[in-house]
Amino acid sequence: MSMKPAIRTTLQAFSFVALAALAIYLAPKYSNPFKYHFEVGQPWAYGLVTAKSNFAIYKTDAQLNSEYKQALRDYAPYYVADSTTLQSNIYVVSLAEMERLQALGCAKVSILNNRVATQVSVNELYTPKEVYEVMHKNIVPNLRYDSITSESLRQNLLSSISLTQGMVQAGEKIIDTGEIVSEQKYQILESLRRNIEEQNISHRQSLTSTIGVGLYIIILVLVFALYLYTYRRKLLDGLRHVLFFSILMALVITTAFVVLRHVPIGYIFLIPFAWVPIITRVFYDSRTAIFIHLITVLIVSIAAPAPYIFILLQVITGVIAVISLRDMTQRAQLAQTALFILLMYSVLYTATTMLVTGSIMNVEYRYYLYFAINAVLVICAYGLIFLFERTFGLVSNITLVELTNVNSNLMLEFAEKAPGTFQHSLQVSNLATEAAKRIGAKVLLVRTGALYHDIGKMVHPEYFIENQTGVNPLQSMSYAEAAKVIISHVEDGERIARKHRLPELIVHFIRSHHGTSVTRYFYNTAVNAAISDGKTAADVNKKDYAYPGPKPSTKEAAILMMADAIEARSRSLSELTEQSINQMVDQMIDAQVADGQFSETVLSFKDLEDIRAIFKQKLIEINHHRIMYPTIDENK
């Protein structure tokens, strides 16, 4: 049972809203105006940066750690001696306290005894176990750690260390486009970022930025929906297609934002953004694949480092992926596409680095490793293709190629049980393939559909004339009964197709290859018989002779209907001449057009004329006369 239009529309809208909401939620939130991404050794990809106000240059973590260790070298934590248990100046601490002193690296401790502080080497301290081993005495710890005095001393030592080194004056140049980010420049930029972060950011600023990000993403998602509405209305009307696009985009967008949030920024090039155009192209057209890729890249560019360069690399590699892939019929094509992507990433990265810095010496070779890993992940798209295919009921060309294998178990069974029908299907497939080529329809799809369209005749092959070698069992039935038997092959074919899990597209060929037409032979014969009996044509119930449909809804299904009828009719011609073939093709196609069988397709008059021409040409070529071979007259 089909879904109600209102429910379908609601779910489609929800898919777009959910995609936009997810992207807005994961997108980086406003923290400060410092939106630059940079690394040591990389060229500065932005414009000139100058100091708007004075700010201090912070020391690096390594510098501070070194100075902290130096300051704490003479740090001697305080311990209070217990005079009641102190014996002969033997200082005893617990094992845990000794381990803590060793971890801190303290060389001395200060011991308070009767308000007099004495510094003692840590080596002069004992644990209860060491006292027993040396003196064979049991002495409990007689030193107690003075945490308040010790921590106060430690803080005083650390506070004497300055966190900064030098100043940057207002108006001073910091870095300009193309300059390499040295360690010194990096620390100045980090200091600038820290200085900005320490400024108070108002709630109004944060809210405004969030609204801006939200509007940006919403507009991009709406543009994509508008594209589907304008150029791919059928895809927009199909819920599974909208869900497919939303889930594929959400997968890549989520991965990108998570990676940018938790790992170094260079790792963004590990993400196979080419998954989007590749997987989309496998199931749909090139324009849609490139458009959805562009929208995805633009959304991710919010958080990407050097966004203009990022967009350039991703968009061009996506276009190259679509061009190199074209119609994917073999797994090896995906590996070839991955290689093209690797080469394009590498060339574009090298070119942009040289363009920005003016030197090839500034290329970071680790990025080539990222591109190589990216290419390997692109090959893994094959698994996703299979997953999406099963989940959304889509059909890839790889699957269609597998289905056209006439040595498959189902095809071999078909050829064995209904050999005449099998040969008819092969001929129909050849005719339909040529017609699809002529008008630019999906050749592989129509070829596959033609092979399976009459598969229902396996159930009762003896009822169909192409499989009969003797008496026709239909002659013993009434016209209506015979028509019912013939019509049943459509339902039987659908049942067999679903049993073998054939794609829904192929099932449509089986169900629609006769449309809602009537079994003309039995219907016309019944009408003639009724008239002979003094009745009228109205006395014959036309519904008893009509196929259940549906009518063809695609160019490919319409081509199959024409090829099927014409190939079958060509076998009934008493004389196969160019004139008889031309006349027969015109009559059959005109009858189907007049019957409204193609009313749900987008076939143009030009398409119909091209299809007529190719059918006539191929039938004449197939049925051309051969010369008679002479025999040897032995009497001469």
HSE value, Cβ hemisphere, 13 Å, CA-based, for 589: 24
HSE value, Cβ hemisphere, 13 Å, CA-based, for 516: 13
Same domain, 387 and 410: no
Asked if residue 441 is part of any domain, the answer here is yes
Q: What is the pLDDT of residue 287?
A: 95
Return all residues near 255 (Cβ < 8 A) that are at least 6 apart. 271
Distance CA 99, CA 219 (A): 61
Asked if residue 318 is part of any domain, the answer here is yes
The CA-CA-CA angle for residues 300, 303, 304, to 5°, reads: 75
Asked if residue 590 is part of any domain, the answer here is yes
Q: What is the pLDDT of residue 410?
A: 95
Same domain, 364 and 427: no
CATH number at residue 493: 1.10.3210
Q: How many Cβ atoms from other residues are within 10 Å of residue 442's Cβ?
A: 19
Same domain, 226 and 258: yes
Same domain, 469 and 609: yes
Asked if residue 636 is part of any domain, the answer here is no
Asked if residue 147 is part of any domain, the answer here is yes
Same domain, 388 and 498: no
248: its two tokens: 């594929």
The kind and range of the H/E element at 29 are: none
Distance CA 153, CA 148 (A): 9
Same domain, 127 and 213: no
Instruction: Report the predicted TM-score, pTM, of the whole model to 2 decimal places.
Output: 0.70
The kind and range of the H/E element at 197 are: helix 183-198
Preceding amide of 552 cis, omega within 30: no
Q: Which phi and psi angles does 264 have, rounded to 5°?
A: -55, 150
Distance CA 557, CA 327 (A): 20
Same domain, 129 and 236: no
Residues 231, 237, 238, 241: what is their CA dihedral angle, to the nearest 10 degrees?
A: 40
Asked if residue 336 is part of any domain, the answer here is yes
570: its two tokens: 């060509």
* Regions in the chain scoring below 70 on pLDDT: 1-3, 29-35, 87-88, 197-206, 624-631, 633-636
Give the gyration radius of the chain's Cα atoms.
41
Q: What is the pLDDT of residue 33?
A: 58
Same domain, 412 and 384: no
578: its two tokens: 């160019």
Same domain, 597 and 457: yes
Asked if residue 453 is part of any domain, the answer here is yes
The kind and range of the H/E element at 618 are: helix 605-622
Structural domain span for residue 252: 5-27+204-392
251: its two tokens: 């997968």
Distance CA 344, CA 320 (A): 8
Q: What is the pLDDT of residue 1?
A: 41
Asked if residue 11 is part of any domain, the answer here is yes
CA distances (Å), origin 332, targets 18, 196, 325, 522:
35, 52, 10, 51
Burial class (CB in 10 A: 0-12, 13-18, 19+), 406: middle
Does the CA dihedral 5-9-10-14 come out positive or negative? positive
Same domain, 115 and 19: no
24: its two tokens: 């807005």
CA distances (Å), origin 502, targets 29, 390, 412, 506, 512:
47, 11, 16, 7, 15
Nearest to 304 by CA among 265, 276, 332: 265
**342 and 374 in contact (C-beta within 8 Å)?**
yes
540: its two tokens: 């014959």
Domain end call among 104, 137, 159: 159
Domain end call among 327, 359, 392: 392
Domain end call among 350, 365, 392: 392
Map tokens 């459509």 to a residue: 490
Same domain, 137 and 254: no
Nearest to 55 by CA among 198, 175, 169, 161: 169
**510 and 493 in contact (C-beta within 8 Å)?**
yes
Quote the number of domains for the chain.
3
Same domain, 382 and 481: no
The kind and range of the H/E element at 338 are: helix 332-357
